[in-house]
Each structure stands twice: as structure tokens, then as C-alpha cells.
Structure 1
Amino acid sequence: MPAVEQPEPAPALVRAIDRYLRHIALERGRSPHTVAAYRRDLARYAGFLTDLGREEVAQIEAADVAGFVQALRDPAGSGSSTAAAPVGAATTARMLSSVRGWHRFLLEEGILQQDVAADQKPPSQPKRLPKAISIAQVERLLEACTGDEPMMLRDRALLELLYATGARASEAIDLNVDDVMGGDDQVGGAVRLFGKGRKQRIVPIGRYAREALEAYLVRARPLLSPRGASTPALFLGARGARLSRQSAWLVIRAAAERAQLDVELSPHTLRHSFATHLLEGGADVRVVQELLGHASVATTQIYTLVTADAMREAWATAHPRAL
């Protein structure tokens, strides 16, 4: 389907959305990445509303919210003149969450007297188990980052930290040097991570990650730092600026190619592997929840399904009376 340009959203809708985005950024402490995602979702919603002739927030009806969800899943059947390509259930659920958050804000602020999005349910999604790699594959990935070159020392430190802490890629690249806490031979140290909503948590890193970080900080970062403006960032790019999310993704992809791992990897793969390996090793699910920075233990419990599947597969393969 060819791309169709959205109409310019009505000024009143734009102002209401901007007010909400300032609220989640300043009062709720949402990250710039999260605010940008909300902005994109709500811009599409505002374009849909404008196409319906809605120019004020008071004109929005519950049927409009339902129509927006329908237009996301089935643009051709929505009747909208600005129908774009269809999106999946997960993306629809995320965009509806943005819409519902905005409408809830309008109600709380007294701008509207009714939340017309409150009863709109997201589409059901197939249960997806997190993708994790084996411990042996993790070791191959880490060993693919060897050498004394500054970039290789940085890459090894980054991957060791991602696996040691289960940090999100955004949390790792947002680290400053002062967020790394020292340790000794028995205690590897820890890092101070800032998760969603800038919620702080302290996560141990272990000896391997600590040694990789020390090697990077002593032998590599001083060579990278003078190339750019002064920054407290822990992980630096080739030009001395804070490492980007895209660069972090490229680091792990390059390491996977060198390790000849025939699996698709991303920085989140190490987070999934961290959680899965902890649970397989007997860690309590609530401890893993705290380490991952999950607000709800239900999110962490998804990983127990991964380990249960692995146990069932091993049983079916090895037990003499499995078949």
C-alpha cells in the first residue's frame, strides 16, 4: 500500500499532546526515547482524529478510539482516507497504551470529564517466549572480543556488563563512569542502573565484568575521550562521544559474526540470557525481578516458561519412557 500523508493535526490536539509529553518527561521522569515513542504514536492518532473532523479534545468519542485501533489493524477497511500500512498486535497494543495514557491525563487534569479510551482493550497477542542463547554461546560471543585495541577492549567491557547485569541497552549506554562501583577479589563490584521512569537499582557485576571494565577504563577510554567533548559517559564511540544505541547493536552483531554464532542477536538477547540462566541456576524469581528492574513479577515469570520448556525438551530426549 503506498504511503499516504497524514493531514496536519488540529492545533488544539497538538497543544494537548505537547502538554501531556511535558508531563511524562518532567513529572514522571520518562526517558527521551520513551517520550519520542509517545510523540510518534500520538501524532498518528491525532492525524486519524483530524481526518474524522475532530479539532478539539472534547469532540473525541469512544467510537473514535475503537476506529483508530481498527485502522491500525485493517487500514483498508477503516474508511480512513489516510490509511497507512497495517501494524501487528504488539505495535497496536503499544500505540493504544499511548492513547489511553493521554486520555487518562486529560481526565486527571480536568480537561475532559470522561475517559473515552478507558474501555478500549488491546488486541490479544500470541505469547512470545524471550529468546536466549546458551551459556556456551555467550562464552563464544565474549571470547570473540579479545585484543588490546581500544575498541575491542570497549566492546568486551560492554558485552560483559550486559550479560553480567541484564541491563537494557539504553541503561548500559546511559551509564556514567561514576555509576561503576568498585569491588575486591570476592566481590566483583556493582553498577548503578537507571531503568524506566529513572528508577534506580544497584546490580552486581562479578569479577569477569569488573576486570573487563577496568581494562577498558585504564587502557582504552583515556585514548577515546580526547577525541570528543568532555563527557562523563562510560562507553564512548570512536569520536569520543557517548556510544549510541545503534552502535551498541552493531557491537554485538560484529561479535556474533566473529564468533560464528548462527543465531540472530541483539543487545536484548543478553538480557534474556541473563534472566534465563539465573533461573536455570536456581535464583528466586523475585530476585531476578529486582535485578531486571521489572515493575511486576508477572513480567519476570515469562522466563520461567523458557526454563520449563527446556526441562521438558531434555526430559523428552533423555527419559527412556518419554515416548
Structure 2
Amino acid sequence: MTNLEAVPPELDCRDAPSSAVEVLQPRDVPLGGPRAMTVRRTLPQRRRSFIGAWCFADHYGPDDVSITGGMRVPPHPHTGLQTVSWLFSGEIEHRDSLGTHALVRPGELNLMTAGHGISHSEDSTDDTRVLHGVQLWVVLPEVLRDVPPAFEHHVPPVTTLPDGQLRVFLGSLGGVASPVATFSPLLGAELRLHDGARHRFAVDPAHEHGLLVDAGEAVVGGVHVRAGELAYVPPGSDALEVEAGAGGGELRALVLGGAPLGERIVMWWNFIGRNHDDVVAARDAWQAQLAAADPEGTAAPGRFGQVHGHPEPHLPAPPMPTQRLLPRS
């Protein structure tokens, strides 16, 4: 998914030290067009920019596509990151410049590594009636941010808990490990708990964690977290205890985690670099491909490759801000 904001803000990517659970509120961001599908963005924000290497979280739906038109994201570029697509309902068609043509379905991981550069598109399918899911980004560490682009699909098994279910799509949790390799220590899992149930997971005390609530209500560290909110749990504990708030129905949430990033980055539009010049170089390379586009609007070969088979032209990059982008940590 792309960030379709016409004037992407420069974000102060500095996480304030904390020893207590923080609840991050989402902000509504339209994905463009007169019938725009609106997403709820909890990362990044001024209050907190990262959870481990997780740097971006868009939560959307349940969305009646007959009203909004669904997801329509033409080909666009990425650098220095990975995208994680996770659905609760609906179906999304993915195309990328590696030649991948895949479907994103509920309970299945689609992981795209941008590395040095990739372009892709995402569109809800004609069969989709209700679209509901999450799009996440992961920062690639400095030493690996220019790896070749790649795409991986994985269907994690459902693990039955005494009080719910768990699907671990990255890292390990509750004695279950994903076979998908990551470039830094990461955790990604879908958790479901019965109304009023409580579960305690052993976790790495050096890692920070987040709980993005999709349905129901959670209690984490004595703090109530409502649907759409993201709870941040700082490092320091060897256990993560999650309770489904009684009377709120079944809890469905994503558990995210990882080692604190500890790097300074610049994140602007769909690019992640380490300084202003990295972003300018990526934008210039993308715009150069668009300038050499064929009559159908297909970008010429270059750093980001071409997406074939999509009916719409590739997206141009927004203008750069007038001031230099400053790296943050």
C-alpha cells in the first residue's frame, strides 16, 4: 500500500522513553479519490514512531466496497522497507515489478521486500464485498536496506489456545515459530481471545511490543485498549499478558514486537533512507522512470522495475518539501 497523502509530513521519529503502557490513538487518512477508503493510522506519529522495526500501521474496515469503491492503489515505488499485508475479510490483488501476481486472503501473509527498490499495486478484487485488514511496514536495518527486492507468501497454521487462537506469521510467540526469515528480530501474530479470557505469553524482555486491537477490547498492563487503538509495551518484562475485556465480545488483535530499532532514518512518502539525499535520489529515480513512460503510462525499466497488467498509470511522487528532511531516531 502507498501513502497517498498529497503533502506527506516530515515526522519526528524519536520515541519518548517510557516505563508504562501507552495507548496510541489512530488518525483517519483517506486513500484518495471522491469515494476514498479511509484508513486508521497508528504508526508513525509524533508520540511514537516505532515498535521494534515496525514503522507504519494502517488499519482499515470493515469497509463496504459498494460504497467506497474498495482499495485502488496504482503502481508506486518503495525503498528500504518491507510491507506486510494481513486481512480479516475480503481479497486484494497484488502485482509487483518482480512479475509477482498474487492474492492476499484472510489469515495469509504476503511479505514484500523493497530493498534497493521495487514497485507494486494493490486492488481489492471484484468478488470482495467487505474489505477489512491491516497494512504494515518494517524498516530494513542500515546494513541490509539495499538488499534485492523479494516477495514471499506464507499461510501460518492456527494454534489453539485454552482460551482462543493464535496465528504467528513472523517471529515466535506462545511456543510457535514462523519459518519466514526476517532482517531483524520481529514478532507478528494475530491473537483471538474469548470474552473475558486472559493469556500470558513469554516474551524477550529486551524487546518492545504493541497490541493493535481490531475487535473487542483488551486490557494490557492494567490499561484498557479499545478497537482501533494501539497499545505500546516497553522493554523490561519477560511476559506479555493480554485480557479480553469482559462484555466486549471476542478480542481480535495483532501482536507486534521486536528489538528497538536504534537507528536514525528518514521516512517520506514511500521511501525510507538515512538522510535527505537518499530520499531525493529515490524520488528522482522514480520520476525519471515515469518521464520515460510509454503511451499506456507504464514506467520504463529502472531502479524500481515495471508493474505489468495494471489498468492505471503509475503514481507520480509528491513534490519534495522545501526544507531538508532531518534523520530521526
TM class, shorter-chain normalised? under 0.3
TM-score, normalised to structure 2, is 0.26
More helix, by proportion? 1
TM-score, normalised to structure 1, is 0.26
Q: Which has the higher contact order (CA 8 A, sep 6+)?
A: 2
More strand, by proportion? 2
